[in-house]
Structure formats: structure tokens, C-alpha cells
Amino acid sequence: MTDSKYFTTTKKGEIFELKAELNSDKKEKKKEAVKKVIASMTVGKDVSALFPDVVNCMQTDNLELKKLVYLYLMNYAKSQPDMAIMAVNTFVKDCEDLNPLIRALAVRTMGCIRVDKITEYLCEPLRKCLKDEDPYVRKTAAVCVAKLHDINAQLVEDQGFLDTLKDLISDSNPMVVANAVAALSEIAESHPNSNLLDLNPQTINKLLTALNECTEWGQIFILDCLANYTPRDDRESQSICERVTPRLSHANSAVVLSAVKVLMKFMEMLPKDLDYYGTLLKKLAPPLVTLLSAEPELQYVALRNINLIVQRRPEILKHEMKVFFVKYNDPIYVKLEKLDIMIRLASQANIAQVLAELKEYATEVDVDFVRKAVRAIGRCAIKVEQSAERCVSTLLDLIQTKVNYVVQEAIVVIKDIFRKYPNKYESVIATLCEHLESLDEPEARAAMIWIVGEYAERIDNADELLESFLEGFHDESTQVQLQLLTAIVKLFLKKPTETQELVQQVLSLATQDSDNPDLRDRGYIYWRLLSTDPVAAKEVVLAEKPLISEETDLIEPTLLEELICHIGTLASVYHKPPSAFVEGSRGVQHKRLAGSAGSGESVESPDTGSAAGVSEAPPAVIPSQGDLLGDLLNLDLTPPTATGPPPAAAPGMQLGAMDLLGGGLDSLLGGDIGGSPAMGAGFGAPPAAMPASFNAPVSGGLDDLFDLGGGVGMTMGSYTPPKTVWLPAMKAKGLEISGVFVRRSGVIQMEMTLSNKAMSVMSDFAIQFNRNSFGLAPAGPLQILTPLSPNQTIEAALPLSTVGPVMKMEPLNNLQVAVKNNIDVFYFSCQYPISMLFLEDGKMERQVFLATWKDIPNENESQFQIKDCHLNSDAASNKLQGSNIFTIAKRTVEGQDMLYQSMKLTNGIWVLAELRVQAGNPNYTISLKCRAPEVSQCVFQNYEAVLKN
Amino acid sequence: MIHSLFLINQAGDIFLEKHWKSVISRSVCDYFFEAKEKAVEPDNVPPVLQTPHHYLISIYRDKLFFLSVIQTEVPPLFVIEFLHRVADTIQDYFGECSESLIKDNVVTVYELLEEMLDNGFPLATESNVLKEMIRPPTILRSVVNTLTGGSNVGDKLPTGQLSSIPWRRAGVKYTNNEAYFDVIEAIDAIVDKSGTTVFAEIQGVIEACVRLTGMPDLTMTFMNPSLLDDVSFHPCVRFKRWESERALSFIPPDGNFTLMNYHVSSQNLVAIPVYVKQNISFFETGPCGRMDITIGPKQTMGKTVEAMMVTIHMPKAVLSANLTATQGNYTYDLANKVLVWDIGKLNPQKLPNLRGSLSLQSGAPKPEDNPSLNIDLKIQQVAISGLKVSRLDMHGEKYKPFKGVKYLTKAGNFQVRT
């Protein structure tokens, strides 16, 4: 007899028949009927029509029947809320039952019925069950609080269930403790500031005791909870570590990884010279290795986490290279991860082994894996210098296999090797050139073109090679087009005599026939460079390139720190901070490793929590320049609602803009250019537009400057720097923007002067920022409602908010802006004074200041000299106060005034300063301490700017 | 926490769904099907998938996908471990984890799932506890139940649920008291072309079958515990005793369980029981290749190697194989390009050899990838690491149990490159 009989249907119609059976008098028949209903439910059939009939079966002594009805109720109550009320009485009665199993079952099921009306009735039974004498009922009730919170959070708070739940952390039964912790953790996720899991040494002790006795799942919850605790000192940290280490031998891999997380985090607090520290490091390796012999899915998650661990502490696994060797029947997702870790662990000691393995992998079947293996060989060459030669010869061997994708990958990595070790391996270029035809992937084509351009002087037929690429220029991808443009310009600078035609051809292809603004812009830049100053062009284009770094794909340190605190979570699998992707976790708290920074985050008031998190851990790795450009280009530039006159003048403007770059290549090419008709037509005669714009008055901007200085600036007492030109007219087809950032009564403004120095009317202005370090973003659209006629100047103030997307910039106060008008989109970057971000409430309590100063580790302190400043300490203090830099205390020691100052950034970061002023000495010394030491440089510059003006 | 579970067969049909919170439409699985399509082989489907509103975490076991849907930040290992536990439980209850068996017992499975998880939190995952609450189906019981109207669901609180030893039920009684332990070691190794061991390690496990009355307290000691430096234990093992005395002290669960896993790493010398002399080559011209494989014993600790089997994944271009084996049979599966040579016992006097020619698809280029050999073997009565149990003692109960320890070495992932 099997359950498959429940799936057989008859002609009469299933529902009809089931209805009859459910209402049968015979118990056995009823039960069979309910089973049939459940069976249909499990395969996704809709049997909600039977609701009243099934609920009628609920009043029964038969536990199995009762459970089955409960199963049904949980699934369908939501769709039939009024009917579900019918069940309430039975639940309430069952909660009083003598059998604890029934009490627990009732409270558990009631919590799963996600109907508001039922929850009202749930409160009383739940309150009783939370204090039930039987721990089985208590532990079920603890989970029920989490369920109820999910349905009606307010109700749970009003009824005081959260406090009862907190009390359960001290329960005598470890299972109850574990469930209470699990429930609280889940609730806390939606309440980031609730301080629900208020961890203190007493609760930690209770958790550690429960840890030894509860189930494996409970251990995971407790360990994850422990990881949020910040020990008071290294002794406490060590004692927790000691009590957690036995978990590393647990059979459940999730327990092991959660234990690893706790240890990795608390280890930061241990002094490195401690014996125990070394012991702990040694203890971490075996469990991690063991995880790799588990099922492939577990391996995958383990590998993603190991990837983080080796970046943070490579010493743990440095001798375990072999366990990462790929087996041919590993699933592809495991293979790729293993490869990644192999490269991270590669060192001079093991490089021979690694290379032999990689070479083996390069002949496997799976294309993705082979590609990655080839790329890995290149990375080894770059990472371990001693192996470079062997790597190159391995790559050449692989090229000889002539397998298309292997050759292409090899060429891409050889390009990087060339960059890392210039003038060393160029002898292989000839071999590479043989394979030119077989390259069909953009990345490989671009790499090859780069090589040809870079070593044009050594390749006899470089011009022919590049010319062959030029034929299908418009069908190439942007990457290849850009590379080709650059390569030909390089070639031209190296061999100007033979390649004039080629360079003209590519420049006109790039600037005239292409729709791609990047390509056009680069084309224009080269064109202008070549036409104005060929010597400078040579210096720019053929400049020495910065060396590429040894490690690639490293995770940015602050992100890595945060991820280490999230070992074992989804965040660690995706290598992204939780805030970046977990839905429903509103305002996740950012975690930092204790030892290095942020151990006393509690000093900050919780209301800045969400903002504070943002810059402490920029959510993305700093992308390369290319990505930045991409970001800017992707910005959505919506024009303001007011529609200006149609850009009738646009074509003319376009022409004018080209003339900007005009001037011809005459100087470089002699008279030749005139003879080339194509060039003459496009770029020959300069119309009068440009000279006019050069003469355009700049006084508008200057007047403003004085206005500012005399008016608002003084009353506020804050220093406002003069406006600077951000976007010269030359660069923006006649639009000049100068501006300044100011902070006025708590509002950050970007005050701009826009001047039209072109011949045509400008309208439809819009502005957009790239992601930046402090999340600056326009708080509203750019208010320029009237079109800007030629030679007109207009003032615009743009209020800014600090809640935009965040990305760490270099320098920190760099802001990339895109401005659009009816003509084009222009990009510029500017730097804002960091004082703009200083909040008015940045005055710290004296006690807090003292404690915080001590708390911030010394390596976060930086010292600067401010020279030639002739203010006395009081004047300086007053002046600084205008910029929201508050003096908390002043001390005079041996004729030296020490000012203790604090300021608070919009994202909640505090900066503490000690300013030493010696009478008669114009040089001040300033020491800055901050948990985010990156900002110190900016703050210092700001001090200097304020004090000297 | 775990929100929903879908069971999906290889063809991509969802044949069971269970929701622990609100119902999530099965259309969420479309993202999974997309990934499955892309991965081609079911083994290669990534275990963690991101969709706009959910995360899908899946395992692939016994030709079935166990796919869980989660919405909040949950440790993925926790989910994967739990899914494996679900598969284990189904196997434990019905003897095997297959679509037809699950369909046959769908209500029991559903009841089990409900018992295992509450609101996404694991509730009871120990086989002993579950079996007290939901009895596994037996023919006898279903007959009795139909006659008496009894049920499969226990109405008492499982004793193990709350005691400090949740894995063991109380009141266990046997007429024959016995405790058997199997020490099983699997050799994972990669041997390169020239016969050098690139990497080798031993995955060991001690499987136990304990049927003892009452609350026995067992202690197992080893002759050479120093071999075990990387271990993971069943929760019943007292870690403190292990740390201080290197002895396994535990109150065992009732029935079958895994007492301990251990791992002898490549740092220690791992004995490789056989050597393989092989030569597989394809000619530059002409659609054929040659193959010659000989296997001989190496470090077998004086025991016979049994159940030898060689599996070779051939390059796609290989159409057929014309070989002669001096011992055993070979088959070539054309569809999957897998050559299996079943050798049986390894005779040190007369080494088994397989040689002959391979024919390739005409016109196909010489294959680029080298086939890799997978070795299967068994050696009875020995643990290749040398691990030996010295004593097993019982306290707490008065009777004398039967005790037994068996050893077995087998090949795990034993791969020879060509």
C-alpha cells in the first residue's frame, strides 16, 4: 500500500469525491481523505475549496489526523481568513492540553497561520507557552515569537514578547537558549538598531555553556550570535576562542564554518606574539581542509570562504596547496574556485608544482576552466617573478597547440606579462604575430593590437598588421576600436614618415564615423595633441607606464574586513557586503574587525547608524578607470521639465566644436594636410566662434567671489574658498562652469556659475554625480529654467544630500560630475572641501573624547605640519568653529597651547584632533585620530585652507 | 531561514513542494531551470543562485535536486547541510532516495518535513527522534494500522528531544546486544603521467551499528591515535576526553550512525596500493590511436586487492575500442564515451593488461584532451593509514555485548593522468 493511490482520480471529479469522504462518519475514511488532500497539495494542486470540510476534521483525538489537518491549515488559511477563525477555538483548547506535544503543536501551528485575525487570539496562549513548565513547549514558543513578529511586529513589541524572549537566553535548557537566540537574531535582522541581542559577559557565558549542549543547528545560531560580540580585552577574546575551538571538530560543516568565523574575528584582538595566537592559526587549517572532502555543494561554499580567509591570513593555508588541486570529476563551479585559491597561495616555494598542475588543466575539456587555467599561468608569472620565464615558455607551448581559445587567452595574459616585465620577453612577439588571424575575441584582438602598437618599432610590418585590422573598424567592439586608435597613434609617433595616411584614416574613422562618445573623445584628444605639439604628444602617448600590481582581483581591504565578519553567510559567497544585496534587511549594520578599527562603535549615536555604515565600508571595490567612465556614461541624465527651444543651432555648434580641435596637423605633417581633401573639409577653416569665446568676460565669476566673501561667508564665520573653474569652455563646447561647495545652516550647496561662451543658446541643463566616497548626490534637479544665450552667465545653487550611492574615490573628496545640456554631455571632476561634511553637532563630550582618543589605535594617528600661520590659538579656534570644527578643551603646557578638537562627518565618522600652537612659532602641529584614517589627509588639507584664509 | 523546498527530478519536473512560511509560487524555480539548462550536466549546476527576490540553494543527490528557497541572510552551509539531512532521512526511512519512493510515501515525507523544520528553523533532524514521532512504514504496521485504526504518528514527546543526549531514545531493549564498527578508508589521489603521486590523502570514516539495551557508555581506544590529527565527530563524542586521552568516549545513538570522520593529509605519507603503467596515444595521421594499460600491486600491506575497476573518459572523437584484456571484461559506452574495465581480483603473479587500438571519427583532428583514468579498488581487513582500534569498553550496563571491528580500504577519488 503506497501513497501513490492518493493521486488516482475518477471521472466524477476529485474535489467532489473528496468532499464526500471528508464528511464520512468513519474515522479511517476521513483520515484517508485528508491524506489525499495533502498529497494533492504537495504537488501544487489547488485544494483550497475543501477548506471547511478539512477544518471540520480538526476536532479529533487522533494525533496523526490532527497533524494532517494542521498541515492543510498552514497552507491555506491565508486564502480563507474567515474560515480560519473557525479553527481558533480548537487551538486555544489544545494549548491547554495535558500532553506537551499537543500544546507545542498547537502553538507552533497557530504561529504558521499568517492571518491577522488569528494572531489576536494567539497572544494569550503564546504567553503561557513561553513560560510553560515543559522545555519542549518553551522552545517551540520561542520560535513562535519570531513567526508572530514577521506577521505583526508592533503586536509583538506591545505584548512584551521580546523581553520574555530575552529572558529565555538564560533558560536552563540549552535547546531553549538556542531557539531564543535564533528567534532574536531573525527579529534583529529587521530591527538593526533595536539592540535586541544585548551581549554582555554574562550572556556570553550562558551562550558558551549552551553551545556545548545544544543541537548542531542551535550551535550555528549561537556561534553566529557570538560573532557579533566585541570582547572587552584580549583575555576575554582568548577565553572565548578557547571555548569555541572544539566546534572545529564538529561533523556539521556549517558549525565548523561558523566557528571559523568567530575565531577569525576574535583573533584580531589577540597580540600576535602570544603563543596561543600561533596555536590557533595551526588549529584553523585542518577543519578548512576537511571541508573540501565534503559534498561538492559544501565544498563550493567552503571555497568561497577560504578565498576570503587566504586573503586575510595567507599563513593559515600556505602549506595546503595540494588540497586545492583540481580533480577531473569536480563540478565546474568547484574547479574554478579551486583555481582561484591556487593562484592566491602560489609562492616561490610551490610555483613549480602549481605550474605543472596549471599546464595539465590547460588540456582539459571544459572551455571555461581551460581559459581560466591559462589566465592563471599569466597571473603566476606576474606574481612570482622567478617563475616568469617558465610561465612564458609554458604559454608558448600552449600557443603551439593552436587551440583557438587557448591561444587567445594566452595572448591576453602575455600582454600583462609584457607590462610587468618590460624589455624581457619581447622575443616571443614573432610567434604571437603568427596567430593574428585566428583571434576572434575582442579581448584577445585588443591585447594583440596593444602589443603591436607598443612594440611597433620592433615589428617590421606593424603598419600592415594594424592596417589589416582597420578594414573592419566599424564592426569591431569598442575595446578593440579604442586600442586600435591608440596603437596606430603610437605607431605614427614612432614611425611618422610611413604612417601618416594610416593615422589620418583612423582619426577620421574615430571622430567622424563613430557614434561612440568615448571613441570620438579619444580621437579628438589625439588629434589635437598631434596637431598642436607633437613633442608633447610623444611624451603623453609614449609615456612610461606604471607597473601593474602583483595581485589581481584582491578584495578591497575594508570590504574584506567586513566579509570576514560575515564568513559563512551569503555575503561571503557573493563577496559583497550584505547591504548590497540582501532584501529585507533594512539598514544592515556594517561590521568591522575589532582589532584594526571600530571596536567601540557604540560611542556613536544610533540615529546615524545607517549613514555611518555607508562610508565605513564602501560597498564596491574601487573599479578601474574604465569602469568609472562606464558608470558616468550610464548615468541617466533626465532633462528638467522646462523644455527649452529646440536645439536648432546644434549642427553649427557641432562644427564649431570640431574647430576647437582644428588648427590642423600642419605643424606635424608639414604641408601634407592641406593636400588631403577629407581633412581640409572637416577641419580646415576655423570659423570665428572660438576666438570670441576666449575673449568672453570672466568678470561674472569674479564678482561672485567678492559677493561671497563679503556677504554670507562672513556672517557665518566660516571660510568659503573662491570659485574655481571646474569645466573650461574649451572642453565643453563653449560651456564654462566654475563653482564652489559651501555649507550653510546645515545644508550643503554646490554653487555654480555657468557661462555660455559659444555662439548658440544652451538649454535643458541637467546634472548627475558619479558614486562618491560620502554619497553626495543632488537633492533636486538643477534649476536653470531659462535658456542660456551666448555670452550670458547664470548662477545656480544646487542643494546636495548625502544619501546617494557610495564608492570610495581617490582622492577621497573627489567628485565626478556629468552635466548635460542640449548640446552634449560633459564630464568633469572636482574636489570638495571636507569641512562641507562636518556636522553642526560635531562637538564631543569631554569624557567621550578622552575615551575615544584612547580607544583608537595609534596606527590610526597621523601628524601634519601647518606652516606659516600667524593666528593665536583662540583666533584659530574661532575660525575653525565656523567650519564646524569644535574645540573641546584647551591646555597650556610650557607655553604651548594644545587644542583638542572634534568634528563629525555626515556619515557619522568622528575625527579627533590635537592642535599644538606655540606662541611665536608660525608652524602648527596637528595630530588627527580617526577610525577611518583615510580621511585624515583631507581633514588636514581643510585645516590648512581654513587657517590660512 | 529556509522558506520553501522543492523536489525536482532530472527532467525538471517539480514533484513535491513544501512551504514553511507563506507559499512561494513554483515559478521561482524557473531561474533554477535556466541555470540547469546552462550547466548542461546536472552535476555542474551552481549550488547558490541569486534571483531578484530570493536565493535558491540546491543540492543534487541520487538524481534528484533538492531546491530550497530563502529570503533573508542565512548561512548557505546550514541550508546545504539541512538539505543533505533531508535526503539522508528519506533514505533512512524508505531505503533509498528516489522519486518513485517519495511519491509512494508522499504524506509521510510531508509529515517528516514538517517535523524537521519549523518556520525555517530545524526542529528534529536526528533519525532516532524522528522515528519516535513518525514511524517508518513497514508492511506489518500498515496492516495493523488498517485493522485497528492506529496511526503512524507517535503521540508521546520523543524522549531524546530535550535530554542532553538528544540522539538516543530512552528505553531501548534488545535480546542480542551488539556493537559493530566499520573503519572505512578511501584513498583520494592524483597520479601523474610518469607515475609520481601528485597528491594523496585518506578520507576515513568509522561507521557504527550499535544495538545495545539501556544507556550504554562506550569507550573506544586506538593503537595509534597520533594518526588522527584532523577529525570530526558525531555530537555524542565527548570532545574533552578526546583532547586529554585520545579516546572516543560516547553514549551511542541507537542503530546506524557515523561515529567519526577523519582525514589523513598528504603531509603524512599515504600508501598507494597499486601502480598503473599506461600509454594512450593518438596518431597525428589516420583515425586511430593505441592504448596499453597494465596494473600491478604496490603497497598493499600484504593483502589482496579486490574489485579492481578502471574507468576512462575518452575524448569525444573516439568511436570504438578494439582491445584485449588478459583478465576481466571491458565495455565501451559510446554515448558517454566511457570505457570501463572490470578486472576483479589483482593477481600479483599475472598482472592484468588491456591493450589494443582505438578508432576515431574519420576526419576528426587529433584529440587535444588527454583521457584520465579513474581507479576503483577494495582491500579487505586493512585500513591503509594503519589505524587500528585497540579496545572497546562499555560502562553503565551490566550485560556483555558482542563487539566487532571491520576494516576496509577503497579507492575514493583515485585518478591517474595520461
Strand partners, B275: B296
Mutate to test the interface with A, among B32, B107, B241 (most CBs of A within 10 A): B107
The minimal CB distance from A253 to the residues B53, B81, B263 is found for B81
Distance CA B97, CA B405 (A): 28
**B18–A contact, CB cutoff 8 A:** yes
* pLDDT < 50 stretches in chain A: 1, 10-11, 582-588, 596-717
Establish if A663 touches chain B: CB-CB under 8 angstroms. no
Alpha carbon dihedral A321, A324, A325, A326, in 10-degree steps, equals -170
State whether residue A505 is helix, strand or coil: helix
| Residue B156: predicted pLDDT | 60
Q: Do the Cβ atoms of B149 and A78 come within 8 Å? A: no
Q: Residue A524 and residue A692: Cα distance in Å, rounded?
A: 21
Beta carbons of A884 and A719 less than 8 angstroms apart: no
Q: Looking at the complex, does the CB of residue B147 fall below 8 Å from at least one CB of chain A?
A: no
* pLDDT of A675: 37
Q: A174: which chain B residues are within 8 Å (Cβ-Cβ)?
A: 164
Contact between B413 and A327 using a beta-carbon 8 Å cutoff: yes
Question: What cell numbers appear for A391 in the block?
Answer: 610561465
DSSP letter at A184 equals H
* Closest in B55, B164, B374 to A570, CB measured: B55
pLDDT per residue as tens digits for the range B149-208: 555 566 565 554 556 677 787 778 888 999 999 999 999 888 888 888 888 889 999 999
Q: Which of A249, A250, A256 to mutate to test the interface with B (most CBs of B within 10 A)?
A: A249
The cell for A754 is 555657468
Give contacts of A220 with chain B, Cβ < 8 Å: 75, 78
| Residue A395 Cα, gap to closest chain B Cα (Å) | 16
CA distance A905 to A911: 8
- For residues A329 and B188, the answer to whether their CB atoms sit within 8 Å is no
Nearest CA of chain A to the CA of B416: how many Å? 10
Contact B21/A at CB under 8 A: yes
| Nearest residue in B to A244, CA atom | B239
Using CA atoms, how far apart are residues A436 and B361, in angstroms rounded to an integer?
A: 30
Helical pair A625-634 and A517-532, crossing angle rounded to 10 deg: 120
- A75 at B interface, C-beta within 8 A: yes
How far the first Cα of chain A sits from its last, in Å, is 93
- B16, B109 Cβ separation under 8 angstroms: yes
Residues with Cβ within 8 Å of residue B168, at least 6 apart in sequence: B128, B160, B215, B236, B251, B252, B253, B254
Residues A595-625 pLDDT 10s:
543 333 333 333 433 333 333 333 333 333 3
Which long-range CB contacts under 8 A does A531-537 form with residues at least 24 apart? Answer: A531/A661, A531/A662, A531/A663, A531/A664, A531/A665, A531/A666, A531/A667, A531/A668, A532/A663, A532/A667, A533/A667, A534/A493, A534/A667, A534/A668, A537/A489, A537/A493
Q: Are A946 and A929 in contact (CB under 8 A)?
A: no
**Is the Cβ–Cβ distance between A65 and A106 less than 8 Å?**
no
What average pLDDT does chain B have?
86
Q: Which of A899, A738, A746, A766 is nearest to A822 (CA)?
A: A766
Locate A189 and state its grid cell: 535582522
Q: Name the residue among B402, B389, B373, B251 with its Cα closest to residue B312.
A: B373
Q: Do B23 and A75 touch (CB under 8 A)?
A: yes
Q: Verify whether the Cβ–Cβ distance A7 to B103 is below 8 Å.
A: yes
Decide if B53 touches A, using CB distance below 8 A.
yes
Task: Report the percentage of chain B scoring pLDDT > 90.
Answer: 33
Looking at residue A550, what is its pLDDT?
67
Q: How far apart are CA A16 and CA A20, in angstroms?
A: 7
CB contact under 8 A, B73 and A585: yes
Percent of chain B with pLDDT over 70: 92
Give the helix, strand, coil percentages of chain B, each rounded to 5: 20, 40, 40
Q: Is B312 exposed, middle or buried (0-12, 13-18, 19+ CB in 10 A)?
A: buried
Angle ∠(A562,A564,A569) on CA atoms, nearest 5: 95
Residue contacts between A and B (CB atoms, under 8 Å): 262
Is A108 an 8 Å CB contact of chain B? Answer: yes
CB-based contacts of B182: which residues, under 8 Å, 6+ apart? Answer: B206, B207, B208, B209, B405, B406, B407, B408
How many C-beta neighbours within 10 Å does residue A503 have? 24
Query: B234–A287: do the CB atoms touch at under 8 Å?
Result: no
Distances (CA, A) of B380 to A83, A235, B183, B208: 64, 50, 11, 17
Q: Which of residues 693-732 of A touch B (CB under 8 A)?
A: none
**Min Cα separation B201/chain A (Å):** 9
- What is each CA distance from A9 to A16, A37, A41, B235, B364, in whole angstroms? 11, 12, 14, 47, 54
3-state secondary structure of A50: helix
Look at A403 and B43 and tell me if their CB atoms are within 8 Å. Answer: no
Is the CB of residue B93 less than 8 Å away from at least one CB of chain A?
no
Residue B223 is classified by DSSP as: S
Closest CA to B337 of B314, B371, B365, B311: B314
Contact B84 A75 (CB under 8 A): no
What Cα–Cα distance (Å) separates residue A586 from each residue in A194, A299, B22, B72, B165?
A: 12, 30, 20, 11, 39
**Residue B396, pLDDT score:** 86
In terms of DSSP H, where are the helices of A268-350? 275-291, 296-312, 332-345
A197 contacts A560 by C-beta, under 8 angstroms = no
CA distance B198 to chain A (A): 8
DSSP code of residue A308: H
Question: B35: which 3 cell numbers?
Answer: 541555470
Q: Does A578 touch chain B (CB under 8 A)?
A: yes
Angle between helices A135-151 and A161-168 (to 10 degrees): 140
Contacting residues of A for B232, CB less than 8 Å apart: 249-251, 256, 287, 290
Quick one: cell of B51?
A: 534571483
Tell me the pTM: 0.68
Judge contact between B89 and B256, C-beta under 8 A. no
Nearest CA distance, A370 vs chain B (angstrom): 11
Residue B96 sits at the chain A interface (C-beta within 8 Å): no
A153-205 pLDDT, tens digit per residue, is 888 888 888 889 888 988 888 888 989 998 988 888 777 666 677 788 888 88
Which CA distances in Å does B105 have to A76, B7, B18, B379?
Answer: 22, 14, 15, 38
Task: Please state the rounded mean pLDDT for residues B80-93.
Answer: 92
Do the Cβ atoms of B154 and A146 come closer than 8 Å? no
- The grid cell for B313 is 573518459
Choose among B125, B263, B417: nearest Cβ to A289. B263
Radius of gyration of chain A (CA): 35
Is the Cβ of B243 closer than 8 Å to some Cβ of chain A? yes
Residue B161, chain A, CB below 8 Å: the answer is: yes
**Mutation for testing the A interface, residue in B41, B121, B191, B414 having most A CBs under 10 Å:** B121
Mean pLDDT of chain A: 78
Kindly state whether B16 is in contact with chain A, defined as any CB-CB distance less than 8 angstroms: yes
Evaluate the omega torsion of the peptide bond into residue A833 and state whether it is cis, within 30 degrees of 0: no
The three cell numbers locating residue A470 = 582597420
What is the chain A residue with the closest CA to B205? A251
- Quote the distance between the C-alpha of residue B32 and its chain's center: 24
CA atoms within 13 A on the CB side of A650: 10
Q: Is A67 on the interface with B (CB under 8 A)?
A: yes
Residue B155: list chain A partners with CB under 8 A. 63, 99, 101
Say yes or no: B269 contacts chain A, CB-CB below 8 A. Answer: no
d(CA A133, CA A136): 9
Alpha helix stretches (DSSP H) within A495-624: 500-511, 517-532, 534-541, 557-565, 570-574, 609-616
Would you state the cell numbers that stand for residue A904, as one nine-digit string?
A: 563629525
**Distance separating alpha carbons of residues B152 and B146, to the nearest angstrom:** 11
Per-residue model confidence (pLDDT) at position A619: 37
**Nearest chain B CA: its distance from A551 CA (Å):** 26
Cα gap A691→A656, rounded to integer Å: 11
CB contact residues (below 8 A), chain A span 837-866, against chain B: none
DSSP string of A438-490, one letter each residue:
G--SHHHHHHHHHHHHHTGGG-TTHHHHHHHHHTTGGGS-HHHHHHHHHHHHH
Q: Do A3 and B103 touch (CB under 8 A)?
A: yes
Q: Which helix (H) or strand (E) holds A706?
A: helix A699-710
**Nearest chain A residue (CA) to B413:** A327
- Name the residue facing B370 among A135, A224, A363 (closest C-beta): A363
* Rounded-to-integer distance, Cα A585 and Cα B6, Å: 25
Residues of chain B neighbouring A150 (CB-CB closer than 8 A): 21
B75/A569 Cβ within 8 A: yes
CB contact at 8 A, B308 and B344: yes
Contact A329 B413 (CB under 8 A): yes
